[in-house]
Amino acid sequence: MRTAFRTIVLSSIVAMGAAVGGWAMVTLVAGLKHVDWQVSELLRQYLIATGIVKPTHTLVDFYSHIKGIEYLICVAFFVVFPIFYKYVNGEAKKVENTMKQRARSERSVL
Amino acid sequence: MKVMENNSEILSGYGGGYEPADEARISEKLLLGLSGRQYLDLIVKNPVNWAVAAILVIGIPLLLQRYLMGLSSVTHGSQDYPWGIILGFGLFGMVPLSASGFMLGTTVEIFQRADFKPIERLALLNGLLGYFFAVVFLLVDLGMPWRLHYAMFVSFGPAAVLFLVAWHVATYLSVQIAEMLPAFAEWANLPRLKRFVRSIVLGLTIAGIILSTLHQGALGALFCYAPGKIHPLWISPEFQWLHYFVSSIFGGLCMVIVVSSLVRRYMTWRCDTNFLGNLDGITLGLAKGAAMAFITYLIIKIVAVAHDEEWLYLVSGWGIYYLAELFTMAVVPLCLFAVGVRHRRVTLVRWGALIAVLGIVWNRLNTVLVSYNWTSHQEIPTWQECWLVATILCFYFIVYRFVLYRLPVLFTHKSA
């Protein structure tokens, strides 16, 4: 009973996925045909249509927009950089420990 | 590859690890303790020398043609395309790869990191020769070498970026020559000269930092002369100097990694155990520093795109080309360096360094040639122009190898 239910659920998900995927594929192909098969042009139109890229009318608007994005990038960097630093220095920590251990063992010999 | 290794063995057999006695004659030191016949034999047996000779046989007459008949006889250079491949590669490409001198000078002399001492002289030599040959490339492009001082003294233009560049290159080249003098003094047995230079080395290093950082940035600022001609993705007037300066940090470090890997492979006989034994650790240390520069560069490039609101350009053909360059120059080496350092995989770091070096050259060529006049026509360098670049690179290779064979750069002199 449980197996049959799982099969029905899985089949439904696959069918829905296939339908959505098929629809997305048709839309994509139709969109590409509309812009003479230029991927970059389609992307450009998508960015404008979704409002990610929009025209600005005053210098204040322009600066508010670009500075907002720049600050977000900087905040992201403040998060990413320490993680990256920690990742790169992961091995050095081990070496440091080994050195400390060596120093400790030398001290014990002395 | 095998043949070159064999040649290295022959050299080891003749005079490998040769260190002249202090009282040895200059001719003996120059010939590495071999007779003239043996030395000539060595040159003839090396297939690399034949390749170099083949390039020079055509290149030297081309060089003469350039000076006798003018630049237009060998290049497509014009008022529209003032910077061809000669400057694009020779000046803009080689200078960031020569930032190694001030980087390692600072590390060893200012921060007192003695663990990088074995590679310091190689980095200084790399910087010195890189800058020197950048000037040679400039002379080939400009012509009239007897008027080299005009930019500094005669046509006195303190408001011009080129005035700044000319002064920086001239003074920094002098500083780098002074920094390499101790190696020459050891080779020529001039202990007083060495003592004198050592006494002023801190001042030289500080001068090197000031001049080199300003100069690297100024090279980027040169493009602000023609912001409208360059594709917006390759020019960002507010950030250009910063992009050039930060890329020179990892450029210099990567170039030292590449050169040290090559000498370790093909010039083992000239390296001492201090150099060979510490090289892997040093390479990882350099890679760690370069990785920090890579991630900084990547972020400031993205900030520049955001600042100039160039997101739309990224989804064009130019944008895809730009992203390919950025991936080659920064993202791929960044990943290779991070993984290489963390897992202590030196080979990975060495490949990453090579990719970064090629990426920097690609970036400079893209700025000078490919994205230049992007709205009009595309400059295609003539074969003569490319051959001239290869010719000067051959001279660079010959001088580099000549110095490495003789001066105590890869080995510690007994008097040190």
User: What CATH number has the domain bearing residue B220?
Assistant: 1.20.1630.10
- A78: which chain B residues are within 8 Å (Cβ-Cβ)? none
pLDDT in tens, B88-128: 999 999 999 999 998 999 999 999 999 999 999 999 999 99
Beta carbons of A88 and B288 less than 8 Å apart: yes
Q: Which amino acid is at B226?
A: A
Residue B77 scores a pLDDT above 90: no
Over the stretch B363-376, which tens digit does the pLDDT of each residue have? 999 999 999 988 88
Pick from B145, B86, B179: which is nearest to B392 by CA?
A: B86
Contacts of B291 in chain A (CB under 8 A): 84, 88
In a domain, B280, yes or no: yes
Give the tokens for residue A41. Answer: 């042009």
* pLDDT at residue B168 tops 90: no
Mean pLDDT of B400-411: 92
Residue B311 located in a structural domain: yes
Return the H-helix or E-strand segment holding B181: helix B161-188
The residue that leads in pLDDT, B75 or B23, is: B75
Average pLDDT, chain B: 89
Which residues contact residue A60 at a Cβ distance below 8 angstroms, ignoring those fewer than 6 apart?
none
Q: Is B322 in contact with B283 (CB distance < 8 Å)?
A: no
- Contact (CB<8Å) B342/A87: yes
| Lowest-confidence region among A9-13, B19-23, B57-61, B405-409 | B19-23
Q: What is the band of B13 on the pLDDT scale with cuts at 50, 70, 90?
A: very low
Give the predicted TM-score (pTM) of the model: 0.85
User: Across the interface, do B315 and A40 touch by the CB < 8 Å criterion?
Assistant: yes
Mutate to test the interface with B, among A40, A59, A80 (most CBs of B within 10 A): A40
User: Tell me, what amino acid is at B50?
Assistant: W
In angstroms, the CA B330 to CA B335 distance is 9
Report pLDDT digits (tens) over B15-25. 456 677 767 77
The answer as to whether B37 is a domain residue is no
| pLDDT reading at A33 higher than 80 | yes
On the question of pLDDT at B1 being above 80, the answer is no
CA–CA–CA angle B221, B222, B227 (5° rounding): 85
Å from A93 to nearest chain B CA?
10
> Across A81-95, B34-48, B331-345, which has the greatest mean pLDDT?
B331-345
Res B4: pLDDT: 45
User: Which residue range forms the structural domain that includes residue B98?
Assistant: 46-406
Q: Is B44 on the interface with A (CB under 8 A)?
A: no
Q: Which of B202, B203, B276, B216 is nearest to B250 (CA)?
A: B216
Average pLDDT, chain A: 82
In whole angstroms, how far apart are CA B365 and each of A28, A74, B48, B379? 36, 29, 27, 11
Which chain B positions have a beta carbon within 8 Å of A47's beta carbon?
Answer: 311-312, 315
Nearest to B323 by CA among B349, B298, B354: B298
| More confident call, A92 vs B395 | B395
Alpha helices in A1-110 (DSSP H): 2-34, 39-49, 59-88, 90-109
In a domain, B179, yes or no: yes
Alpha carbon distance B198, B216 (integer Å)? 26
pLDDT band at B416; cut points 50, 70, 90: low
The pLDDT assigned to B11 comes to 55
Closest residue to B303, CB basis, from A65, A73, A84: A73
Length of chain A: 110
In a domain, B4, yes or no: no
At A105 the pLDDT is: 44
Cβ of B306 within 8 Å of Cβ of A70? The answer is yes
**pLDDT band, residue B150 (cuts 50/70/90):** confident
pLDDT computed for residue B224 by the predictor:
87
Of A66, A77, A90, nearest to B309 by CB-CB distance is: A66
In this predicted structure, the answer to whether residue B398 has a pLDDT above a threshold of 90 is: yes
Return the pLDDT at B9.
Answer: 53
Chain B residue numbers with beta carbons less than 8 Å from the beta carbon of A52 are 311
Decide if B399 is inside a domain: yes
- B304 within domain boundaries: yes
- Mean pLDDT, to the nearest integer, of B243-258? 95
Which two three-digit tokens encode residue B397? 């290779």
Domain tally for chain B?
A: 1
Nearest chain B residue to A85, by CA: B292
> Would you say how long chain B is, in residues?
416
Q: How far apart are CA B64 and CA B200, in angstroms?
A: 41
Q: Which amino acid, B14? A: Y
Under DSSP, the state recorded for A50 is T
C-beta atoms of B309 and A65 within 8 A: yes
B7 found inside a domain:
no
CA atoms of B333 and B290, how far apart (whole Å): 9
pLDDT tens figures, A48-84: 888 777 788 899 988 988 899 999 999 999 999 999 9
Burial (CB count <10 Å: 0-12, 13-18, 19+), residue A60: exposed
Tokens of B301: 């490039």
Q: What is the pLDDT of residue A92?
A: 52
The position carrying tokens 């010039």 is B267
Task: Report whether pLDDT(B78) > 90.
Answer: no
Report the DSSP beta bridge partners of residue B372. B230
pLDDT at B12 (0 to 100): 52
Instruction: Let me know the angle formed at the C-alpha of B277 by B275 and B283, rounded to the nearest 5 degrees.
Output: 75
Determine contact, residues B124/B277, Cβ cutoff 8 Å. no
